[in-house]
Amino acid sequence: MTTKTPFPQTSSIGSAGEHLVLSQLLKMNFVAGLAPENTKDYDLIVLNREGNVSFPIQVKTALQAKISNTSQGWILRDKHEKPIKDLIFCFVRMSLDSRDTDIYIVDSDKVAECSQYSHQIWLKFPNSQGGKHKDTTMRMLLHDYGKIKTKKLTNWKEYLNKDEIDFIEAHPQGWLEKYKEAWHLIKAIKKLDK
């Protein structure tokens, strides 16, 4: 008889992602640690060996229940529409049913672009009943931004301007793959090599 793995609490999922990223940084010979509890914009602090250069990291973790399904994405907030200087995001995708994990390293500018465009596009599209979406502070970093339009919407381009259409077409399923394990994007690595 197979027993179902219980779904962990949200705080446990977040902690697991933070510790996973921290362990990767330590394996790469960084001086890194958890930020103090309730630090506003980041979860980890990375230092160079001399201790005079620090670099903040925010970790977002999504958990999927089935191995075959890709997680939809990660929850963000409206505050993520504004880039924060030198902030790097580590988006962790964990599987509940296996040890498979993926870490996507994305700079704050790209996260801000995705947060802004996807939300303004989502607001322009009608909801499933044909009405307007109600504005919210929630944002998403998605594996496939084509999914923000409803399946029934065949004329979706008529709702958007050229920049918004270009954004959707530039961020299909797979766009995030270039950020997978992209540890080179962490500027502290360059500073440590000097």
φ/ψ of residue 38, rounded to 5 = 65, 25
Q: What is the mean pLDDT of residues 136-157?
A: 88
Q: What is the mean pLDDT of residues 20-37?
A: 91
Predicted local confidence at residue 9, as pLDDT:
67
Predicted local confidence at residue 12, as pLDDT:
80
Predicted local confidence at residue 71, as pLDDT:
60
Our CA dihedral for 140, 114, 34, 24, rounded to 10 degrees, sits at 100
Q: What is the mean pLDDT of residues 104-130?
A: 94
Nearest to 146 by CA among 120, 118, 123, 127: 118
CB 120 within 8 A of CB 90: no
Predicted local confidence at residue 65, as pLDDT:
61
Measured CA to CA, the distance from residue 133 to residue 143 in angstroms comes to: 21
Nearest to 42 by CA among 52, 31, 33, 30: 33
Predicted local confidence at residue 67, as pLDDT:
46
pTM of the model: 0.87
CB 63 within 8 A of CB 8: yes
What 3-state class would DSSP assign to 83?
coil
pLDDT > 90 in the chain, percent: 58
Predicted local confidence at residue 135, as pLDDT:
96
How do residues 38-92 score in pLDDT, each as one tens digit? 888 899 998 877 777 778 999 999 987 654 445 689 999 999 999 998 899 999 9
Q: What is the mean pLDDT of residues 28-39?
A: 88
Measured CA to CA, the distance from residue 120 to residue 112 in angstroms comes to: 12
> At residue 10, what is the residue type?
T
Is 90 exceeded by the pLDDT of residue 10?
A: no
Residue with more model confidence, 4 or 151: 151
Is 60 exceeded by the pLDDT of residue 1?
A: no
